[in-house]
Chains A and B, each alone.
Chain A
């Protein structure tokens, strides 16, 4: 036996998005482990880590599909459907990018020069921290809908976004430092390797960009 009332109210599409962000966060954190293994030239462990990253990416894809499944045409949503679709698209770039980075590095057995290793790791750690902050903001949207603290919500969300911005700022500086360090030593290494190293740096930069965009999109949704 079923009933009409229960069928009318649908699950919030933010549920799977939040789960997706938790997966993204885990994936960005795993990237740090992966990079450490790569720096240590411990390729066996790196391959294991890459497997985990791949798995996380699969989970993220499933959650993306679940989110889209909740957005059927007949659903009336409290926030614009396009915003939610954009959000999940942006969020899904995070585990994808992590997978790209790890794949490229494994495939080419890329070595990270010892001289830039600390800056390199710091740069990646900061990207993971941005993902973390974005996940926190996404998690907060649920509070908005479940508890709807309208007045406080705006302030709290603003604080979360400010935190995100300052992390992103720091990350920009780290990127500049890292690029300068790499530039200083690049002529001592095979040029092709260096080109790919720059590519990896770009991709990590992309990772933090995406995480930041997720944060901004969620604050936009919250303020509507």
Chain B
């Protein structure tokens, strides 16, 4: 108690710095995976991708990120058990941010495909289980989070397999793929708009002063879906069935239709990523801020101040601007094999899965979900070669991330505790 009153401003400032550091890490690496596919398929230029990321990451975090933030903030550890020692919660969350941020930095520089989500969850579980007590962790919640990490790539893979199969049947394997593409692609656009708005609305927008029941949500989502499909059709009208050179890749008319669709799925991807992954930086920070501002009280019902989200958003944009654009460029250059008709299927499947997880407050890894989705397209024979060795490495890296994240956060936790008391 005394610690918090005594050092309150310092704790608040360093919490913000660590949160910003974590958000920067997410922007530098994680966002790149979400946006790189669109750049690789030449659906967006690099600067367009960054613009889309800035807008939709923020929108996703603000409109649909609440559930995941609250899971990270108070779902993994039971705050009630910490009512007597709020300082431990503050130190722990600071340690977690620092641990996850550090690990992400190390992994990024070595090219290891780790997940921000796995790092932060591992870190929080680590400090709570070792630094406080085993019982302070709500293991049932952690169990469901970890199982969602296995399930989410599988779900995304199944979605993308089915979506790409439907593309093959309806469009690619027909006698007139170009006309069929123009006919059916607005349908996929509808799907993008409908799924995203449905999850966002059903989950609730009370915090922006909008309260809808299920029926209303359904109606509005249908309207938004149709609206997006109509806007998309307007863009499609301009496309002629001719080949076009973009960089060193040639696109025929069909792929150019899908490239328009991919602009929509790229927005969806950024929205989904924002709704799920921004919480990794914002959640712990929100916990710190609420404890410090209430003078040491662990209020489980407090509302998150808007500026925390802004800090997270700015951090992500800063990460994008300093390093992320380079990663997007690299990802984009290396995956030209993922043409728009494939890339959109992977993105739509991944975005849908991530947004659904956000709706029920499960922090999952966007990158791993996208990997699952890409594999789904590969299984539908949409890609000529996939490296399963890399998939194995990714699985290993997420197994390693948990103990490392936990270990680092335990280390930082005891250091902070030592410094302040």
Q: Do A and B come from one complex?
A: yes
Q: Give the complex CA separation of A9 and B334 in angstroms.
A: 8
* Number of interface residues, chain B, beta carbon within 8 A: 53
Q: B385 near A10 (CB under 8 angstroms)?
A: yes
Q: A1 near B323 (CB under 8 angstroms)?
A: yes
Would you give the shortest CB distance from A146 to chain B, in whole angstroms?
Answer: 6
Q: A9 near B386 (CB under 8 angstroms)?
A: yes
Q: Give the complex CA separation of A9 and B252 in angstroms.
A: 21
Q: B374 near A8 (CB under 8 angstroms)?
A: yes
Q: B113 near A12 (CB under 8 angstroms)?
A: no
Q: A76 near B386 (CB under 8 angstroms)?
A: yes
Q: B385 near A75 (CB under 8 angstroms)?
A: yes
Check: A149 CB closer than 8 A to any chain B CB. Answer: yes
- Binary contact track B83-127/A, C-beta < 8 Å → 1, others 0: 000000000000000000000000011010100000000000000
Q: B378 near A76 (CB under 8 angstroms)?
A: yes
Would you give the shortest CB distance from B102 to chain A, in whole angstroms?
Answer: 16
Check: B337 CB closer than 8 A to any chain A CB. Answer: yes
Q: Which residue from B175, B333, B337 sits with its C-beta under 8 Å from A12?
A: B337
Check: A107 CB closer than 8 A to any chain B CB. Answer: no
Q: B168 near A150 (CB under 8 angstroms)?
A: yes
Check: B76 CB closer than 8 A to any chain A CB. Answer: no
Check: A5 CB closer than 8 A to any chain B CB. Answer: yes
Check: A191 CB closer than 8 A to any chain B CB. Answer: no
Q: Give the complex CA separation of A151 and B391 in angstroms.
A: 32
Q: Which residue from A1, A9, A72, A151 sits with its C-beta under 8 Å from B338?
A: A9
Interface residues on A, range: 20 to 34
B-side contacts of A70, CB under 8 Å: 385
Within 8 A of A (CB), among B1-41: 28-29, 32-33, 36-37, 40
Q: Give the complex CA separation of A12 and B339 in angstroms.
A: 13
A sample of 30 cross-chain residue pairs with beta-carbon separation below 8 angstroms, ordered by A number, consists of A1-B32, A1-B326, A2-B330, A3-B327, A3-B330, A4-B33, A4-B367, A4-B394, A5-B37, A5-B367, A6-B330, A6-B331, A6-B335, A7-B390, A8-B387, A9-B337, A10-B387, A12-B385, A74-B387, A74-B389, A76-B387, A78-B381, A78-B384, A145-B384, A148-B172, A148-B341, A149-B173, A149-B177, A151-B174, A151-B175
4 further A-B pairs in the complex, CB-CB below 8 A; given A1-B326, A73-B389? A3-B113, A5-B33, A14-B384, A72-B387
